[in-house]
Amino acid sequence: MGLKMKKSYISIIVLLILIVISLIIVVNAGLIHHPQIGNQINKSNNNTTYIPNNTYAANGLTFNYPADWKEISNLDSPSRWGYGDPIVAYYEPIGNGSEDYIETYFYIKQRNVGSLDEMLSDYRSDIAAIGQTEVSERNITVNGMRAVELIKTWRNGDTQYMALTVHIEAVPGSKYYRIGCVVPANEYNATLPKFEMVVNSFKLQ
């Protein structure tokens, strides 16, 4: 009996040792993988996606724009942004990348007005006259400058378009700018971060 009990004790001790070793291995494995889980959670909670960009700095302005977008050379295009040429405009190349067919673009205009209210009143009249519909409007600030964001929509042929327009009072009473960002409506949400990058980086030099 004594020998058998000793063997039983030894077996139990060996089993306990194996269990302890197994637990140590599992705990260590968990510690090793835990930081990776944390990184994945951080990535999933991080809504900021880096957009490769270049910086425009001329005509008293500076802003960032998508690195693969091209500057529009023909600024005399009332069908895109009404009468009065913009200071600068960029488009997202498609197909062969030429200006022959542009769907997604933004432009920046300086407006000769005396107040932000006047600029907005003129703009509302202009879009109503050509059958475009205002979707929403809200007060915002752009790098400390008072501004109004106005979103509109319209149809051209078979395509529904949306435009994010931001009307900025850069210097009260003297300097006013409009940033107009145009895209097919079904691509608006996907393109919005690029437009927001332009708007949020807009400053006077």
Q: Is the pTM of this model over 0.85?
A: no
Query: What does the alpha-carbon distance between residue 202 and residue 87 come to, in Å, rounded to a whole number?
Result: 13
The yes-or-no verdict on residue 179 having pLDDT over 90 is: yes
pLDDT surpassing 60 at residue 28: no
DSSP state for residue 83 in the 8-state scheme: S
Report the distance separating Cα 172 and Cα 19, nearest Å.
76
Of 69, 83, 106, 110, which is closest to residue 204 (Cα–Cα)?
110
Residue 133: Cβ-neighbour burial (10 angstroms; 0-12, 13-18, 19+): exposed
pLDDT tens track for 115-152: 999 999 999 999 999 999 999 999 999 999 999 999 99
* Domain locations along the chain: 1-46, 53-204
The third-level CATH classification (topology) of the domain covering 53-204 is: Protein Transport Mog1p; Chain A (3.40.1000)
Q: What is the pLDDT of residue 14?
A: 57
